[in-house]
Structure 1
Amino acid sequence: MSVTDPESIDWNVRLDGLIFDFDDDDLHDQRHARPAKPEAMELELTVALGGRCQIGDYTSDPFDHLCVECLIEGYSEGASTLYRTAWHLDRHGYETSPTDPVHPVYHIHFGGNALKDMEEYGHHFFLDTPRIAHPPLDVVLGIDFVLSNYFPNRRTRLMSDYATYADIVRSAQRRVWRPYSHAAARWWQRSRQPAEWSGSAVWPQLVPLRAG
């Protein structure tokens, strides 16, 4: 089949349940965890995203939907209770679903869908807010996010010993984070050229500049 306009093609990717096991060194890094002394911990990463094909670098939002779920489960030393925590990052479809004025288009949020079926919440509230502005994550950046935050020593070894990994992450950052960063930076530019991706959609907390 001949495609005359590649940018008219939509794409979708889904990564289901990629498991990361914590070894003894990884668990030691969680020395401030509560309950203390976690053991037998694992992290499950799920990523679903899609967008429109584009030739060359993206200058606008590369995705039209995105959801990243990070679920961590494990036990505390000597206890039989299974503990769970989770993070959720998604793209709010502001084009079709207007919401409150400080709802970032890409935001990370504690909890998410992974904690909805818990029967016990202890002394915790799980609230809808805050939704913290965060750069979008594709599959590569989602994996690197997990390694950076939960397995930093492994990431350091990958970056130093495997040039291919660094190249893959660098390419993903350029493809995904470059347009996001430019959208935010344009907020402070007094250019009359129209922005393809609005800085206020990236960081809605930004206060408009004074005239003059």
Structure 2
Amino acid sequence: MDNWSLRRFRQDLSKFLELIEGYQIGDFNSLHVLLGKLESLDTFEYEVKDIVFHLRKRISGTMPETLNKYKISLDNTINLNNKDHQINDNLENFIFELNIDSFASENGNDGKPYKNCWHLDKHIDSSPPKYTHPTYHFHFGGEYIEGLDTGEISIFSFPRLPHPPMDIFLGFHFVISNFYSSKEYPFVNELKEHDDYKSIIKRAQKRLWTPYFNAFDSTNKHQDFTINNVFPLYIS
């Protein structure tokens, strides 16, 4: 189970922090805390909250159009089970949330936050789903926006969009690839071209994405990552 080596993960996190902190992207203190905790663990598990990204330029297409400042908080929890990872999904407990505060900042005054939340969920209910329910899926909403006055906005918890699971490395890669314009933020391409960064991301992909995407291989023997689980719209 070399892909899930805790020692390798600690080394990657240490190097990852060295790489990203020179760019002043956000507040990654929670990752330093996690790195310290990993030293005392002998099993692969972690819970990290508030990996914070800051954007101080408008993101094209956001509404209201006056929004020009953003705070993105990433929460991620991973615990492993004892199943054979060659044929089973070995993620026992999984949480991946993006909580977003957007502001119409003017003259140093941020005003009220406009909240948004995306949740990468794992389907664990054994009963037949009422709607299509991929094993891992993104959907809009979550506890972060429950109870808020939504005005005239209609919010749905579906569709559930198939997506492979992510850890802190793939989550970071997801955020800078989707929220940071490479034209406005030159660090994006610079970081993605760094050999250490690419190696860390590739190892994370091998841990979490290779078994997932092997579901589309006709010779796949995995019992959890099957074509019908990861993409139930597919009729075989």
Q: Where does residue 145 of structure 2 map in the other structure?
A: 115
2:160 aligned with 1:127: no
Q: Deviations over 1:28-72 (max 9, x none)?
A: 4x12221113233211110112223689x8553231231111011
| Structure 1 counterpart of 2:168, from 133, 139, 145 | 139
DSSP 3-state at the match of 2:97: strand
The equivalent of 1:164 in structure 2 is 196
Map 1:90-109 onto structure 2 (within 5 A). Answer: 90-94=121-125, 96=126, 98-100=128-130, 102-109=132-139
Q: How many residues align?
A: 188
Q: 2: distance between equivalents of 1:108 and 1:85?
A: 13
Kept after mapping to 2: 8 A contact 1:67/1:89: yes
Q: Which has the larger radius of gyration?
A: 1
Aligned to 1:67: 95
The residue aligned with 1:3 is none
RMSD: 2.6
Query: In the alignment, which residue of structure 1 is the partner of 2:207?
Result: 175
The one-letter amino acid of 2:207's match is R
Deviations 1:62-100 (A, max 9, x none): 312311110111212447332111111111114x45433
SS in 1 for 2:91: coil
Q: Could you tell me which residue of structure 1 aligns to residue 119 of structure 2? A: 88
1:49, 1:66 within 8 Å by CA — same for their partners in 2? yes
State the partner residue of 1:20.
53
For 1:157, the aligned partner's letter is E
CA contact (8 A) 1:108 1:131 kept: yes
Query: Which amino acid is the alignment partner of residue 202 of structure 2?
Result: R
Alignment-mate amino acid for residue 134 of structure 2: P
Pairing 1:201–2:233 present: no
**Which 5+ residue runs of structure 2 have no aligned equivalent?**
6-41
Counterpart selection for 1:38 from 67, 88, 93:
67
Letter in 1 for 2:200: I
Contact 1:16 1:45 in 2 (8 A): yes
Give the secondary-structure state (helix, strand or coil) at the position aligned to 1:32.
coil
Q: Contact 2:97 / 2:119 at 8 angstroms: preserved in 1? A: yes
Structure-2-length-normalised TM-score:
0.70
Are residues 165 and 53 of structure 1, via their aligned partners in 2, closer, same or farther at CA, if it must alter by over 3 Å?
farther
Is the CA contact (8 Å cut-off) linking 1:31 and 1:37 kept in structure 2? no
Deviation at 1:202, TM superposition (A): 0.9
Tell me what 2:24 maps to. none
Alpha-carbon separation, structure 1, partners of 2:173 and 2:227: 25
